[in-house]
A and B are shown apart, each in its own frame.
Chain A
């Protein structure tokens, strides 16, 4: 079974530039998550999709971050414009349909390491 795919693996940009990350979840997984992991910290949820609908985006800085999952499969996360504090690893994860009643394990992709100079 193929895992969660992410690209690019690494990205270096200057502040105020834009960047986009792509994620393809495991086939059949309805729930997709984007996390931000700053060095030395635990993953912080940015946004959670169930199929193509947003379940939770309460921690997404909406003035600069956006995400979409138009066809309920792959997803993109965009930062525009980037700030120095956005330097982090951006992890995508997927799971079978999860809810407050039935929560499933998450499968993580390799992540995209973003450096903002």
Chain B
């Protein structure tokens, strides 16, 4: 079955440092979505990537979809305390009808 792994599982950074989380799927994806879940909160949609090699930016966040459409990354430049939370990628396997959420990367930002 489909598996979506994320690394690292945890990341502690000093405020102002950069952060990257990587998402790897065992199968080819038709698209990938990223969600952020604050501690005690629910997942909130960040972005969707569809095209091979696609790169999208949202202020300090940069999202990339791999050429083979089996991996993705989220990079945050100059982290802030508001970036704290768990970042999940969620992939839609080609031909499937539902997303498969990754294991998540929990980000802690030390002020």
Interface residue ranges, A against B (CB under 8 Å): 33, 35, 41-45, 48, 55-56, 91, 93, 98-100, 103, 105-111
- CB contact between A111 and one of B42, B45, B102 (< 8 Å): that residue: B42
List, in ascending order, chain A residues with CB within 8 A of B102's CB: 42
Q: How far is the CB of B36 from chain A (nearest CB, A)?
A: 11
Q: Is the CB–CB distance between A55 and B101 below 8 Å?
A: no
> Does B88 lie within 8 Å of A48, measured CB to CB?
no
What separation, in Å, do the CA atoms of A45 and B45 have in the docked complex?
16
Interface residues of B (CB under 8 A from A): 4, 30-31, 33, 41-45, 48, 88, 90, 92, 94-104
Question: Are B103 and A103 closer than 8 Å at their CB atoms?
Answer: no
CA distance A107 to B41 in the complex (A): 13
- The reply to whether A42 and B31 form a contact with Cβ atoms under 8 Å apart is no
User: Which of B30, B31, B98, B103 has the most chain A CB atoms inside 10 A of its CB?
Assistant: B98
Is A103 a contact partner of B104 (Cβ separation < 8 A)?
A: no
Verify B43–A55 contact, CB threshold 8 A.
Answer: no
**What is the bound-complex CA distance between A10 and B30, given in angstroms?**
36
Contact B92 A108 (CB under 8 A): no
Q: Which residues of A contact B30 (CB under 8 A)?
A: 100, 103
In the assembled complex, which residues on chain B have CB atoms less than 8 Å from the CB atom of A93?
A: 43
Q: Which residues of B contact A35 (CB under 8 A)?
A: 101
A108 lies within 8 A of B42 (CB): yes
Residues of B near A33 (CB, < 8 A) are: 98
B82 to chain A, nearest CB (A): 19
Q: Give Cα distance in the complex from A33 to B101, angstroms.
A: 13
Bound complex: CA A93 to CA B96 (Å): 18
Checking A41, A42, A55 against B98 with a beta-carbon cut-off of 8 angstroms, the contacting residue is A55
| A105 near B45: Cβ-Cβ < 8 Å | yes
Are B43 and A45 interface neighbours, CB within 8 A?
no
Partner of A100, one of B44, B88, B92: B92
Q: Establish whether residues A56 and B98, one from each chain, have CB atoms under 8 Å apart when the complex forms.
A: yes
Do B97 and A108 have beta carbons less than 8 Å apart? no
- Of the residues B31, B41, B104, contact of A41 by C-beta under 8 Å: B104
When A and B form their complex, which 9 residue pairs have the shortest distance between CB atoms, in order from nearest? Answer: A42-B101, A105-B45, A108-B42, A43-B101, A108-B43, A42-B104, A56-B98, A48-B98, A42-B88
